Structure 1
Amino acid sequence: MAHLKRLYLIRHGKPSATWGGDDDDPGLDEAGQAQANAARDWLMALPPDEQPTMVVSSPLRRCRETAIPTAEALGVEIEVDPRVGEIPTPAALSPEERGPWLRKSFAGTWAEIEGDLDYDAWRREIAASLASRGNTAVFSHYVATNAVVSQLMGVPQVLAFRPDHASITILETDGETLTLVEKGREATTGVL
């Protein structure tokens, strides 16, 4: 039997702007920077055999900035992986239409999301991309985290839970199969 490795799926810290705002790729605000440091501290306090040895991030700035303290503490480069990025928005939508599209999507199932691609297949692809990793900190997004958690829980709903900023969801992998160990801290408000 293969040795199980830990994988940490971390939602980015609080951004300086929310989706639908003027900045389509905001960095972290002061609270988000503190959350990024807190995530690093939590990860570095793990037993040595459970600590991440690699850091992976969505291409978006808020995730990369959340990943920086952990990567620096580990002395590793951040691997940017678009597969753990934000949910792809249909090409026909304007920036102003993205918010209503997301809200409608959140209320349904993965198969019901309207758009240019098969979003149920998109969530399976994210989970599969993580299964081959181990001892890795992956900095991602609210919807991408839900994609993985809902897939592993076997539920069709888009919102399997509400990960807070810098929430850390713990997964395990044997290199092929991914399992959910513990969902991260949940937010008390909606997506911010």
Structure 2
Amino acid sequence: MAPVKALEWLNLTRHGESTANIAWREAHAHGLEESGITERDADVPLSDLGRAQAANLGRWLAAVPADERPTLVYSSPFRRALDTARIALDETPFDLPVQIDERLRDRDQGILEGLTGAGIRRRHPEEFERKLKLGKFYYRPPAGESWADLALRLRSFYRDLAEDAAGQRVLVVAHDAIVVTTRYLVENLTEQEVLEIEKDSIANASMTRWRRGGDRLTPVVYNDVAHLAKIPASN
């Protein structure tokens, strides 16, 4: 994705653990059809652990070398991402505003929102079969988005970012799908490569980083959680 090479650094983090992350683990563990989440996706808050993760992320940001520190911060408008960004920045000595961009929101699941895999198979068997036929990357649930749709809106975001932030060090706080799809775009991955990467979960508050090297951005770390080592795992 040529325009992104204009950035000096591109840093992506997934939001800290949310109450929805906990609900999904419980739903899968008990074979439920629904997650049981009552809020709309945009309003899901961080858990206590998620807030601690965000604070640790901020302490890590404060400790990185001055020539690597973010000069611009962008966030998804969803509460769990925005709160992660604000909590993290509160732990730093530099005063940076959080710029919100709706193109960084999580992928829209449409009519499948809140359903586990078991719920989709039982309640929408035709959609389950259609996804198998089309493949995960191109399948679009009714009223939702495919991974290809997500790539399209992220191309727009990064194109604007390259124009407005050339030479800057950028931090993006968003969602796991945003992190994975950004790798697809920045590293010119194939459908097969990105779906193989996507099989491994992006950890909450993990860091993924690229740095400009010559005429392109080169990977530095992916899904790194070293800065979270002192936080106890959630139950």
TM bracket, shorter-chain basis: 0.7 to 0.9
Q: Secondary structure at the match of 2:210?
A: strand
Give % identity.
23
What's the CA shift for 1:135? 0.9
Q: Helix, strand or coil: the match of 2:184? A: helix
- Choose from 117, 138, 141 the match for 2:172: 138
Q: CA deviation at 1:17?
A: 2.8
The aligned counterpart of 1:16 is 19
SS at match of 2:19: coil
Letter in 2 for 1:123: A
TM-score relative to the length of structure 2? 0.64
Name the CA shift for 1:127/1:46 in 2 (closer, same or farther; >3 Å): farther
Q: How does 1:32-181 map to 2 (within 5 A)?
A: 32-72=50-90, 73=92, 74-90=94-110, 93=111, 95-97=113-115, 99-100=116-117, 108-115=135-142, 117=145, 119-127=147-155, 129-130=157-158, 132=162, 133=165, 134-151=168-185, 152=187, 154-156=189-191, 157-158=194-195, 159=198, 161-173=200-212, 178-181=217-220
1:118 is displaced (CA, Å) by 5.5
Q: Is the 8 A contact 1:52 1:135 kept in 2?
A: yes
Q: Aligned-residue CA RMSD in angstroms?
A: 3.1
**CA drift at 1:155:** 3.2
Kindly tell me: are residues 96 and 67 of structure 1, through their superposed partners in 2, closer, same or farther at Cα, counting changes over 3 Å?
Answer: closer
Deviation by residue 1:74-100 (Cα, 9 ceiling, x = unmatched): 21221111111100223xx16444x44
Number of residue-to-residue matches in the alignment: 179
Q: What residue identity is the alignment partner of 2:107? A: I
**CA distance in 1 between partners of 2:112 and 2:149 (Å):** 24
CA distance in 2, matches of 1:181, 1:89: 31
Q: Is contact 1:53–1:135 with CA below 8 Å preserved after alignment?
A: yes
Higher relative helix content? 2
Give 1 or 2 for the bigger CA radius of gyration: 2
CA distance in 2, matches of 1:140, 1:127: 15
Structure 1 residues 125 and 94 mapped into 2: Cα distance closer, same or farther (>3 Å)?
closer
Give the gaps of 5 or more residues in structure 1: 187-192
